[in-house]
Amino acid sequence: MSNLHESLVQGEATLSVVGLGYVGLPIALAFAEHLDVIGFDINAERVAMMKKGIDPSGEIEPDDFQNKRIAFTHDAKDLARAKFHVVAVPTPIHASHQPDLTPLLAASKTVGQALKPGDVVVYESTVYPGCTEEDCVPVLEAESGLTMGEDFFVAYSPERINPGDKVNTIETIVKVVGACDEATLDVVARTYDLVVKAGTHRASSIRVAEASKIIENTQRDVNIALVNELSIIFNRIGINTYEVLEAAGTKWNFLKFQPGLVGGHCIGIDPYYLTWKSNKLGYHARVINSGRYVNDSMGLYVGKQTVKRLLARDINPLEARVLVMGLTFKENVSDIRNTKVIDVIRELESFNVQVDVVDPQASADEVKEEYDLDLKAAPDAGQYHAVIMAVNHREYVGMGEGDFKALLKAGTGTVVDVKGIFKGKTGSLDYWSL
């Protein structure tokens, strides 16, 4: 075991990364600057694009693929050449808000079939505490016929990548590592130290490492839920939420969270993994569940408020046409998974409002497949009763009163500004924000 790290560095052993999405591809390319890497993904089309230096997610530039020691493949048999395996597949939830371990267990099966004595498996997927040892290890053992702790070794090192963030990257974020024993912990930490300039934090156990990741997003979720609930209250009072937050933010210890739609594959999902585990242990997580309820309802709330603004202007929703600008789960990314903008759209459609959707970052094909929604290439000038700025992509942030008037019928109408970035920039137009 102690020689595995040296073998990797000297090119005598190979590292594999299983799952080449938003998490897996960046870490695979980072390792490939120092080590021989096998990049594996089950999607043959994605693999073909990466072989050409194209990131299907649009996060990584073509130049970043150059001069890397990596072989991309969709053939699971190639994993047998690796001694150190990093699993970075999605961990979504079911419609019932329960963990969906299907991708994780499928990846574990694939890796298990490739395992050899002395191999190390590191999981990066966000899970509840105990998942690695209770759910993944039995699959590895069943498929390989080997015993964890004797024949192969397991660690957990959660991904902390923030999609679209070019400042807080793999290299600059401390890497948390937990392992089945001290020797494995040392090997895994030293290996990540090759690519993580900020260094590694050695957790006392795999479960501590698992828990540390899941509470990062749970903490953000609960805090955002608080300001979302405050925005509902302040709307009824008749004061602007962002003005209140600006005033409160003058105190040194005020936490500067903002209201918004909480979606994506992290903050909007991870708390459900923790609450599910909590329920299994006989405890109902009241604060976390309440936060999830508030955040999950905000898309419906924005939709209803838009309809109210239309009615206040004597516009029949049956005759209304609304433009939604932005569909991805956050600004400046192409990822549409678990976007809460879709809740705004569906709520408007429930009132029979005609909704057009544009997004310069999203793939029209992916939107159609995921949501059965036709993405427009460009809005129709002068045709809308309301414009909803749902996602503040870089293409939109410079807009002003004239731009909105050009989209609205007769140059007048409602601007719904979810993130509050156009406050004071819409002139005489009817304006509302969270």
Beta-sheet strands, E only, within 138-239: 153-156, 175-179, 200-202
Backbone angles phi, psi at 18, to 5 degrees: -105, 115
Does residue 275 contact residue 215 with C-beta atoms inside 8 Å? no
Q: Region of 109 please: left (phi>0), alpha (psi -120 to 50) or beta.
A: alpha
Does residue 410 contact residue 394 with C-beta atoms inside 8 Å? no
Q: How far is CA 358 from CA 160, 323, 327, 332, 343, in A?
A: 29, 8, 7, 14, 15
Does residue 125 contact residue 100 with C-beta atoms inside 8 Å? no
Q: Which two tokens stand for residue 389?
A: 């700025």
The single residue of 131, 136, 180, 266 carrying the catalytic annotation is 266
| 254 C-beta neighbours (distance < 10 Å), count | 11
As a residue count, the chain comes to: 434
Q: Is 136 designated active site?
A: no
Contacts of 100 (CB under 8 A, 6+ apart): 91, 92, 93, 94
Determine the residue type at 430.
D
Q: Which two tokens stand for residue 215?
A: 């509470």
Q: How far apart are CA 412 and CA 327, in angstroms?
A: 24
What residues act catalytically?
Answer: 266
